[in-house]
Amino acid sequence: MLDVHHKGRAVVSSGARESMERDAETLHGFGLWATVSHDK
Amino acid sequence: VTEVPVARFRASQGGVTARFGAAQARIVRDLVSQVAELLGADPETAEDHPGADTPPVPDGPGPSDGQVLEAAFGLTDATEAPRDPVLARLLPDAYRDDPEAAGEFRRYTELSLRDGKVAAARTVLGTLPARGGRIRLSQPDAEAWLRALNDVRLALGVRLGVTDDFEEVGNGINPADPRAAYVWVYHWLAYLQESLVEALS
């Protein structure tokens, strides 16, 4: 969570795309700018 | 000179309570209504008719069968982030470097995201009288307030050009700028929001 402080962003969730998108949508509902990205 | 203390929330049985001066209530109601309208709520119905949520009927030819079906499933035609920077912040892209994935995500989620934000705004308008006074909020209403206050603060932040440093909000704004008055409002909303989080925790 210190990443949020230092970099302004942090990984808060990981998993399958569908559930990540659901999490992103929930966070958008709270005004948080969540993005989904694919780990290599 | 009468000084009215700025409103803040405290915990009370089964929820939270706060006392708003009339001017403070008007500021919150005004900003919350503006954000709801920006998100597509009908200005006539945004305040007093919760549930009257019919989408505006476009002029010209009616919607095609495809559009009716899409609306029934909560899909939108929109695949690009809104041009208005405030809307783009409230309805952000979910993929940074993949416009196609971002567009698909938006198509499936934007409508319900907008509806949720408008519903939260209506909760605020329905529980905060324009004359102010002491209000009590249930836990679910308080959570709607949190979301709506945050949206208003984000919207103001975009308009005020807020970047990373909270303390510097408004530093670049000339006192003659009409936005200058809102710098105080921005800080107060942050304070109000923090008091609400603390009252709920």
Using the CB atoms, write b or e for B164-177: b if 16+ within 10 Å. Answer: eeeeebbeebeeee
Between B200 and B42, whose confidence is greater? B200
The predicted pLDDT at position B23 comes to 92
Residues of B in contact with A34 (CB under 8 A): 92, 94
- φ/ψ of residue B128, rounded to 5: -115, 105
pTM: 0.80
> Confidence band (pLDDT; 50, 70, 90) for B52?
very low
pLDDT at A38 over 70: yes
Residue of B89, B95, B113 with shortest CB distance to A29: B113
pLDDT at B142 over 90: yes
What is the mean predicted confidence (pLDDT) over B143-164? 90
A27 touches chain B (CB under 8 A): no
With pLDDT > 70 as the criterion, what percentage of chain B qualifies? 79
pLDDT single digits (tens) B94-132: 999 999 999 999 999 999 999 999 999 999 999 999 999
pLDDT at B51 over 50: no
Please count the residues of chain A: 40
The predicted pLDDT at position B116 comes to 95
pLDDT at B55 over 70: no
B95/A31 touch (CB, cutoff 8 Å), yes or no: no
Supply the mean pLDDT for chain B: 85
Residues of A in contact with B101 (CB under 8 A): 36
The predicted pLDDT at position B125 comes to 97
B93/A28 touch (CB, cutoff 8 Å), yes or no: no
Task: Count how many pairs of residues, chain A against chain B, have C-beta atoms within 8 Å.
Answer: 45
Residues of B in contact with A30 (CB under 8 A): 146-147, 150
Residue type, B44: E
The answer to whether B23 and B3 are in contact (CB under 8 A) is no
B150/A30 touch (CB, cutoff 8 Å), yes or no: yes
> Confidence band (pLDDT; 50, 70, 90) for B189?
very high
> Confidence band (pLDDT; 50, 70, 90) for B169?
low
Q: Could you give the CA distance from residue B191 to residue B201 in angstroms, rounded to a whole number?
A: 15
Q: Report the residue of chain B nearest A20, measured CA to CA.
A: B94
From the CA of A5, how many Å to the nearest CA of chain B? 10
